[in-house]
Amino acid sequence: MLRRLIILAVLAASSAASSMAADRVDLGDIAIDRTEVTIGAFAAFAERTGLVTMAEQEGGGFEWGGGWQRRTGWTYRSPNGTPASDNEPAVHVSWAEAVAFCTDAGGRLPTREEWALAAYTEQRASPTDRFKVGQTYAYPVGDQPEGMNNNRRHQVAVATTKRGVNGLYDMGANVWEWLADRRGGEALTAGGSWWYGPGAARKEGMQWKPSVFYAVYVGFRCTYD
C-alpha cells in the first residue's frame, strides 16, 4: 500500500509539472507563460505565502475616471468590485507583488527586449495560425489588430481571445503587463488593455507607470531562464 501511494504521489507530481510546463512556450533562451497570470494562480500564491496586496491593505485598486480614482473593494479577487472567475487575469497587483509571484514560481518578469521578441516575432519552428518563422508583426496577433480584447468594458478570461504570435494569448490588450525594466520609481508596462485602443498594443505603445501603482488595467506574466 505504501509503495502504491508513493508511486501515485510521484505520478501526480509529474503530471502537475507537465501541466505547468504546458502553460509555457519555449522560445529557446527563455520560456514565457502562455497566458497572463490568473486570479486562481495568484490567489493560491497569496494564501500560501500570507501576502496581503497593497490594494487590499489600502481599501481598493484604481480606475480612471477623470483622474485616477480608488474603487473600494476592487482587488485581484474582485477586479471590478465583485468576485471574478479564477481564469481571469490577476490585476490590482503592484510591480513588486508581480516580481514576488514570478520569483516564487521559479521565474521573473520579462525584460522589454524579451517581451517584445515574444510578442511580435514568430520564433517557433512549426508556427500555428499562419504565422511565419522569423517574421515580425505589427501586433501580437498579426499585421492587423482584430481579435484582441481592446476598447471594451472589462477583461476576459485568459486564452479566450485570438491566439497570437508564438502561440501566446493576450500579449496585446486584455490587461497591461508589468516588465522587469525600471526607471527610477517607475516600471515599464506593455501590451495595452481592454480600455485602450489597438495602438497601445504595438511595440511603441509601452508605457511607464509608478511601480507601486495597482489598477484594474494592469496584470503580468512570467518568464523563465
> Is 17 a residue whose pLDDT tops 80?
no
The closest alpha carbon to 150, from 137, 164, 136, belongs to 164
Contact 194, 154 (CB under 8 A): yes
Give per-residue pLDDT as tens, 161-203.
999 999 999 999 999 999 999 999 999 999 999 999 999 999 9
Phi, psi of 136 (to 5 degrees): -105, 130
The closest alpha carbon to 220, from 91, 84, 78, belongs to 91
Give per-residue pLDDT as tens, 104-130.
999 999 999 999 999 999 999 999 999
Give per-residue pLDDT as tens, 38-93.
999 999 999 999 999 999 999 999 999 888 999 999 999 999 999 999 999 999 99
Residue 65 burial class via C-beta count within 10 angstroms: exposed 0-12, middle 13-18, buried 19 and up: exposed
Q: Which whole number is the average pLDDT over 96-103?
A: 98
> What confidence category does residue 151 fall into, taking pLDDT thresholds of 50, 70 and 90?
confident
Contact 60, 70 (CB under 8 A): yes
> Is 206 a residue whose pLDDT tops 70?
yes
Looking at the chain, how many residues does it have?
A: 225
**Residue owning grid cell 527563455:** 30
pTM: 0.89
Domains of the chain by range and CATH? 24-224 (3.90.1580.10)
- Report residue 14 as a C-alpha cell: 509529474
Contact 216, 62 (CB under 8 A): yes
